Amino acid sequence: MALRATPAMRRGTPAELMQGFRRWSASVQARSANVSVARGEAPVSDMPKKAFEHWRNSETGRWNPPKYSLRRQAQLVRAACASDQPDLVQASPKFARYMRRWEEMPTHEVFTGFPAVAWPQLSAADDESEARRIARSFSQHGPYAGRAQARMFKGKKGDRASRSRQRLVEENMRTMDETIQEWREEKAAARAKAKPISPL
């Protein structure tokens, strides 16, 4: 069973792409003088037009598609630029677009490490909500930089309620002995009020 070629195998390396393009450019089909020009003039051999644009056959008068599709032209342009042969594909409409995108590509600075940030220390008795605490901490850095406190990300409900839940747990644990004693007294009083079941 034959193996199906992957897109990378069909595309080939830049050197293979440029070798195939040069081979076709030197072929008889590419060099034949059958491109229609103005009426009354002899047909010409326009290899770049046959490779990258629709062209009209001088004998039949029919339009022919280019040898390479736009997707293949984009691959050829990238391969030509990678192998320092851009003059071979300058006639392609993808060449101008590729060069324009290359010139407009932003330059990036070299990453040298994260800047030192002095994070504000929050007191344990801070009654602000979790969203306001995050807004105050991150108003100058990260995804919250420049945002108004009223337009902060909500975050998860558990994170927003964690402070109040922690205070409630601490209060319950502080009064746990009294709560257990009250429960025992109520249970004993309920048993005392219950009437004994008489045997039949």
Query: pLDDT-based confidence at 9, cuts 50/70/90?
Result: very low
Query: What is the SS3 assignment for 114?
Result: coil
pLDDT higher than threshold 50 for residue 8: no
Q: Give the predicted TM-score (pTM) of the model.
A: 0.47
pLDDT in tens, 170-180: 999 999 999 99
Query: pLDDT-based confidence at 182, cuts 50/70/90?
Result: very high
Amino acid at residue number 37? V
Amino acid at residue number 185? E
- How far lies 139's CA from each of 41, 45, 118, in Å? 73, 66, 13
pLDDT higher than threshold 90 for residue 181: yes
Domain ranges of the chain: 10-100, 130-193
pLDDT at 173: 94
pLDDT higher than threshold 70 for residue 195: no
pLDDT in tens, 19-74: 889 899 888 888 888 888 887 788 888 888 888 999 888 888 899 999 999 999 99
> The tokens of 18 are what?
């440029």
Element (H, E) at 171: helix 162-174
| Contact present, 14 and 79 (Cβ < 8 Å) | yes
Query: What is the SS3 assignment for 198?
Result: coil
pLDDT at 66: 92
pLDDT at 1: 37
pLDDT at 172: 93
pLDDT in tens, 94-126: 998 888 888 887 776 767 777 777 766 655 555
pLDDT at 123: 58
pLDDT higher than threshold 60 for residue 167: yes
pLDDT higher than threshold 70 for residue 13: yes
Judging by beta carbons within 10 Å of its beta carbon (0-12, 13-18, 19+), is residue 65 exposed, middle or buried? exposed
Q: Percentage of the chain with pLDDT > 90?
A: 22
Query: pLDDT-based confidence at 127, cuts 50/70/90?
Result: low
